[in-house]
Amino acid sequence: MAAKATMADIARQLGISRAAVSYALNGQPGVAADTRERVLKLAVDLGWHPSASARALMGSDIKVIGLALSRPTDAFAVDSFFFEFLAGVESILGERGWSLLLRVIGDAPDIEVETYQRWWGEGRIDGVILVDERHHDERIAAVERIGLPAVLCGGPRKGVTLPCVWTDQSGDAALIVEHLAGLGHQRIAHISGPREFVHERGRQRGVRTAAARLGLAVTTIEGTYGAADARAAVDRLLAIPDPPTALIFGNDHMSVAGLKRLHELGKSVPEQVSVVSWDDSPLSRAVDPELTALFRDNQRYGRQAAETLLALISGKQPNLVRVPRSVLRERGSSGPAA
């Protein structure tokens, strides 16, 4: 492992004094704006961060964790998961005197990595929570490389040393498929979110596995969690010769849009088509009929993530932390197959 960069390394490469580097890194006056910018950029490039002993000498007790959300801002605004998850994170941090540094950066994973490197290099955070695990996730190698304490909401992954707070996506999928099979449905469709997310791959795999075990036919359509995709999926599915009699949507936003489109097309729910949502938020109960939905305790999920990260920062070595299994809440949108 390469030696950690020091302020002396930064000063030497830029040809300035260590005092100027210290002023720039600690946000103190006494250094020009362009010099401060050069120092901060090089610190990020070198993966510099203040050691625990240096923080102690400066009397610095940060007690801040970081979270950058790399999702389109319009999708974030309507996704209840994040608000519930963040409420859980904040409940633990508030109890223990910690703070959350949050940034919504849009659909830009590369900027998320840069953000964590800059926060860590500037000494603004003690650790991060990584959400929305991706199939090829550059963040994992990045935080391991710079020594940033991190917890992955996802996994488990081979060769990854980060603690993982993981969900049994296959078990959740089985709950939904078994419910529909019990109602006599033989043809179902799964309108998922983007496959770049590992949890969506797990859900797709889980639906197919459970359906094969129960002798059901499955059609899978990948979406973006948006209403337009849900409407287009309904049009596409109902146009095939033997359309599915039950639709599973990847979140409540798509489920509501899909339900509305079925009504527009004159389809009765659940008499002709059943609808199930992978999210159970208040939105699921604000439509007619109310949506059968998979309830996940997202606030508890956030609390588990925060507790795991604080344990890691304190020197403990948490490994796999399992999220409690979801519960399927049966409501009026699912019924016997026609």
Range of lowest pLDDT (68-82, 133-147, 164-178): 68-82
**Are 263 and 49 within 8 A, CB to CB?**
no
pLDDT at residue 159, rounded to an integer = 82
What would the pLDDT profile of 288-302 be if each residue is shown by its tens digit?
999 999 999 999 999
pLDDT level of residue 57 (50, 70, 90 thresholds): very low
pLDDT at residue 140, rounded to an integer = 92
> Quick check: 272 pLDDT over 50?
yes
Compute CA 31 distance to the chain's CA centroid, rounded to the nearest angstrom. 39
> Quick check: 239 pLDDT over 50?
yes
pLDDT level of residue 49 (50, 70, 90 thresholds): low
Range of lowest pLDDT (24-28, 100-104, 248-252, 290-294): 24-28
Mean pLDDT of 53-60: 46
pLDDT level of residue 199 (50, 70, 90 thresholds): very high
Tell me which of 220 and 142 has the higher pLDDT. Answer: 220
Instruction: State whether the Cα torsion 83-84-90-91 is positive or negative.
Output: positive
Domains 64-167+299-322 and 169-295 in one fold: yes
Render 125-139 in DSSP notation, one character per residue.
-SEEEE-S-BSS-HH
Mean pLDDT of 9-27: 82
What would the pLDDT profile of 62-100 be if each residue is shown by its tens digit?
799 999 988 777 666 677 888 999 999 999 999 999 999
**Are 113 and 105 within 8 A, CB to CB?**
no
How far, in Å, CA of 7 to CA of 186, rounded? 65
What is the architecture of the domain spanning 7-49? Orthogonal Bundle (1.10)
Tell me, what amino acid is at 75? A
Whole-number mean pLDDT of the chain?
89
Render 191-260 in DSSP notation, one character per residue.
EE--TTBHHHHHHHHHHHHHHHHHT-EEEEEE--S-HHHHHHHHHHHHTSSS--SEEEESSHHHHHHHHH
How far, in Å, CA of 253 to CA of 326, rounded? 19
**Are 66 and 101 within 8 A, CB to CB?**
yes
Range of lowest pLDDT (11-20, 247-256, 270-279): 11-20
What is the architecture of the domain spanning 64-167+299-322? 3-Layer(aba) Sandwich (3.40)
**Are 248 and 263 within 8 A, CB to CB?**
no
Helices (runs of H) and strands (runs of E) counted in the chain: 13, 12
pLDDT at residue 26, rounded to an integer = 67
Q: pTM value?
A: 0.82
> Quick check: 53 pLDDT over 50?
no
Percent of the chain clearing pLDDT 70 (strictly above): 92
pLDDT level of residue 117 (50, 70, 90 thresholds): confident
CATH of 169-295, picked from 3.30.43.10, 3.40.50.1780, 3.40.50.2300, 3.30.360.10, is 3.40.50.2300
Domain boundaries, the chain: 7-49, 64-167+299-322, 169-295
Compute CA 114 distance to the chain's CA centroid, rounded to the nearest angstrom. 18
**Structure-block tokens of residue 39:** 């120092």
Closest CA to 263 of 238, 282, 281: 238
pLDDT at residue 191, rounded to an integer = 98
Side-by-side strand order, sheet with 274-277 = 217-222, 187-192, 246-249, 274-277, 292-295, 327-329
Q: Which residues, in sequence order, are CB contacts of 125 under 8 Å at separation 6+? A: 62, 64, 65, 66, 101, 116, 119, 148
pLDDT at residue 59, rounded to an integer = 44
Residues in the chain: 338
